[in-house]
Structure 1
Amino acid sequence: MSSSLFLLLSLLVPTLMLEFRYHDNREIEQYLVQVSADNPDITHLYSIGKSVKGQQLWVLALGLRPRRHAVGVPEFKYVANMHGNEVLGRVLLLQLIAELVRGYRDNETWSLQLLNSTRIHILPTMNPDGFDEADTNCLMSQGRANHNGVDLNRGFPDAFAGLRKQQELNEEQREAEVRAVIGWLRSETFVLSANLHGGAMVASYPYDNSDQGSGWMVSPSIAPDDDVFVHLAKVYSYNHASMHKGNLCDDSGPFQDGITNGYSWYKLEGGMQDYNYVWAQCLELTLELSCCKFPQPKELPALWMDNKKALLAYIQQVHLGVKGQVFDGWGMPVQNAVVEVEGRRNMCPFRTNQHGEYYRLLLPGNYTFKVSYPGHEVLTETLSVPYGPEQYSAMKHDFKLRRVASATVRVQAEPSPSCNYSLLPRGGAAAGSAWNGLTVGFSLVTVLQTVMD
């Protein structure tokens, strides 16, 4: 058998067992292509763009309908390797893909429930160029930045930086990897997310920045959904083998319960987690998963076992709270209706997507909702919200609006001064008609040929 034929067959034969080692970018690409080819009914491989050096930023979507959004099915994402020298997340997300697919094929209840109720997007490396340049030092920063020497976690628009600083960089001037993620957030109605880092052991939550000033170990910068963020962080830390202990690394912490408000740890301007929350209405955590940024390969099996339960439990939290659609006076779902929760004044009010959907992650309790849309009466309803993750579904509730005469049209909720609407996803939050279901512009056969060249 020729070597080229053997390679082709090896790519086509289902092989989900992964070695516990650091796979390079080409190997990750080959693996994602293989998984997608072997499991077309539950996986969909697509690219959100390219790095500075032209490497594809591959995402694998997993779910019962992996190719496109389905109304009522929340979108979840994991992102790893934003800093090129923080590498454990690459390994964990590849193992997570293998575990989800294996569980589904073996008809294991936990995997069936997750993939039948959720569309999960996994980006194993946001900074492939930085990984190529990284060394294996535990603490040093070689490879942290992208190929242009820019820290990608300082390159997003920042609600606390003021309109002048927000506008200093137009979108085209931002780093390629940042632009790709911003475009991605315009493509899907992401509800919950986490980005995986290294160098500490803690689950960090918004806000990372504040208008309080600068300094280390300052008071927290509290988000309107702080109770939900604290809950999400504890879900990860207490399902992790040891993160909840809070004092695992010599040079960081201690962190009570293994969690921290980002700003109370240190000030970070231009971070991805705050951008997700403010402008894409996606609640995101930053998960610091290893004291050493580049753990020894022999440690990887244990680190996977430390994180496996937490990674899966966190995905399940996408089913917190309430979801549904907003319908106008003619019974049609409407985009850009404002769905507010009393007592939670978000910088940018949460709005419905192009399907008229809204998703609000909330802990169990009673909440008063106010829904507004031009030409309609403001609708106020109080809902009793149960704990959805146990059932793999948030409470479903649709809002049906009533039209009013034009002379008495109510004004929609206005954003706070920190919300620059020019930075919102075009066409409303998570509008994505131009990006929705994005696929690379060539067939799987071409991809196979590309990775074999």
Structure 2
Amino acid sequence: MIVLMLYLFFWSWLPSAHSLIFQYHDSVEIEKYLKGISSTYPSITHLHSIGQSVEGRELWVLILGQHPREHRRGIPEFKYVGNMHGNEVVGRVLLLQLIDYLTSRYLTDPLVTRLLNSSRVHILPSMNPDGFESSKPDCMNTVGRYNKKGVDLNRNFPDAFDVNNNQERQKEVKAIMNWLNTETFVLSANLHGGAVVASYPYDNRGSGVQEGSSVTPDNDVFIHLAKTYSFNHTDMYKGNSCPGSNFPNGITNGFQWYSLSGGMQDYNYVWAHCFEITLEISCCKYPQESELPALWEANKPALLAYMKQVHLGVKGVVMDSNGNLVQNAIIEVAGRTNLNPFKTDLNGEYYKLLMPGTYTFTVIYPGHKSTTETISVPYGPDTFSAVTQNFLLQKLDFSALITQLPMATTTSVKKNPENNSASLLANAVTALTALIIQRQLLS
């Protein structure tokens, strides 16, 4: 460990051979830069591709953290995704600058060090490299927005509220969906351009619309996340950075702004239990390179502050009566009935973002008594850790009856991301049935 610290400290004081100038880098240049960073900082970075674009360009993801090559229990997974629309290019630039900032300051900057020691950060600079390669410098044109097949990737994800959204999934979208199946992401943001505002789910009309907003059961958390970015940005919180714009506090509910089906942030939340918001970070989609340094300075504190929010709420593991970690145990929080119930992952872990307060948790697992705990939740970002609450379940005498229920299957919704709203309803019904029966047996 001492050798590692000396190594990183030494590198932090050297002029970086991979330092970035503020310009637009093509796919070849980005790949070269990321490989250079990965070789320079092998102990805190891991570079891998999550798939390819239509034209065969790699979708490179750089992971940063103390243990970049593998998940460690209790360390939440965070991600930033840029350049989903190929002609919205500022996010692509800022995420490269963020990589440079994090790697060069690890062990010398307290905030950066605590961020990378307490979370595992995944950065995908460009989700649509084909679109970028065909785009042209212009504020509002659409050249390069779509992928090589002319598809808007932010309309191409399965939609829980639109049973007719059964279009062919594009290669780039499939790569993201597979990625979400391999990592248990807790918090995310995707970076766009053409406005300056933080938008949060739902984008489509969900189960309830309140005052023009399509709200999730975690609406308070999403508003907090959006405001965290907005108020740490130099201008976004003002709400009027772009001509004609008026976003109170610099945030908006996606549906209230304009409705869309097949969006990525809704998919993340419903199917992957990952809280994602959309960050519109520049009035001009493809601004002049001379504007990039100021855009970086405006967004840098917000990018860092948002990353800390991965520590909101509660985390822990669920164990069966033998002390074994269990997958697909349902985690209910009273008053927050999610369309697709939150569950423990492959590692038996769960993460639930919550604002400070007192919450009632109920854990349900086939063959075991449901367990209920009241948990007091502090503001985790202050200590770079959510509060930990583990659950040890007791075996139910009537396990044979419970395990005959449809919900007893160990198949996770995430395993079948093409499920539509009908399957989500079935999932919720079986979970509710199990809960009712278990409580009747215990009464």
Q: Scaled by the length of structure 2, what TM-score is found?
A: 0.87
Q: Which runs of 5+ in 2 are unaligned?
A: 1-14, 418-443
Q: Which residue of 2 aligns with 1:386?
A: 378
Please state if 1:242 is matched with 2:231.
Answer: no
* Partner amino acid, structure 2, of 1:109: P
Please give the per-residue CA displacement for 1:362-399, whole angstroms capped at 9, x wherever unaligned.
00000000100000001111100000001000001101
Q: Which residue of 1 aligns with 2:160?
A: 159
Q: Which residue of 2 aligns with 1:424?
A: 413
How far apart, in 1, do the equivalents of 2:363 and 2:412 lie?
A: 23
Please state if 1:286 is matched with 2:275.
Answer: no
For residue 140 of structure 2, give the secondary structure of its aligned residue in structure 1.
Answer: coil
Change over 3 Å in CA distance of 1:423–1:286 after alignment to 2: farther
Q: Which residue of 1 aligns with 2:189?
A: 194
* Deviation at residue 413 of structure 1 after TM alignment: 11
* Deviation at residue 424 of structure 1 after TM alignment: 2.6
Q: Scaled by the length of structure 1, what TM-score is found?
A: 0.85
* Deviation at residue 410 of structure 1 after TM alignment: 5.2
For residue 425 of structure 1, give the secondary structure of its aligned residue in structure 2.
Answer: helix
Q: Which residue of 2 aligns with 1:130?
A: 131
**Among residues 37, 43, 46, which one is paired with 1:44 in the alignment?**
46
Change over 3 Å in CA distance of 1:274–1:225 after alignment to 2: same
Contact map agreement 2:139 2:194 (CA 8 A) in 1: yes
Please give the per-residue CA displacement for 1:289-324, whole angstroms capped at 9, x wherever unaligned.
000000110011111000000000000000000000
Change over 3 Å in CA distance of 1:129–1:427 after alignment to 2: closer
* Partner amino acid, structure 2, of 1:152: L
* Structure 1 moving runs of 4+ over 4 Å: 211-214, 407-415
Contact map agreement 2:311 2:386 (CA 8 A) in 1: yes
Please state if 1:224 is matched with 2:222.
Answer: no
Change over 3 Å in CA distance of 1:19–1:298 after alignment to 2: same
* Deviation at residue 142 of structure 1 after TM alignment: 0.6
Change over 3 Å in CA distance of 1:279–1:211 after alignment to 2: closer
Q: Which runs of 5+ in 1 are unaligned?
A: 1-12, 416-420, 429-453
How far apart, in 1, do the equivalents of 2:40 and 2:386 lie?
A: 31
* Partner amino acid, structure 2, of 1:224: P
How far apart, in 2, do the equivalents of 1:403 and 1:176 lie?
A: 44
- Percent identity among equivalent residues? 57
Q: Which residue of 2 aligns with 1:140?
A: 141
Q: Which residue of 2 aligns with 1:8?
A: none
* Deviation at residue 406 of structure 1 after TM alignment: 2.7
Please state if 1:176 is matched with 2:171.
Answer: yes
Q: Which residue of 1 aligns with 2:420?
A: none
Change over 3 Å in CA distance of 1:20–1:231 after alignment to 2: same
Please give the per-residue CA displacement for 1:116-138, whole angstroms capped at 9, x wherever unaligned.
00000000000000001101110
Change over 3 Å in CA distance of 1:137–1:423 after alignment to 2: farther
How far apart, in 2, do the equivalents of 1:184 and 1:118 lie?
A: 18
How much is the aligned-residue C-alpha RMSD, in angstroms? Answer: 2.2
Change over 3 Å in CA distance of 1:391–1:212 after alignment to 2: closer
How far apart, in 2, do the equivalents of 1:87 and 1:38 lie?
A: 26
**More RCO (CA 8 Å, sep 6+):** 1
How far apart, in 1, do the equivalents of 2:405 and 2:28 lie?
A: 48
Change over 3 Å in CA distance of 1:371–1:212 after alignment to 2: closer
How far apart, in 2, do the equivalents of 1:275 and 1:412 lie?
A: 30
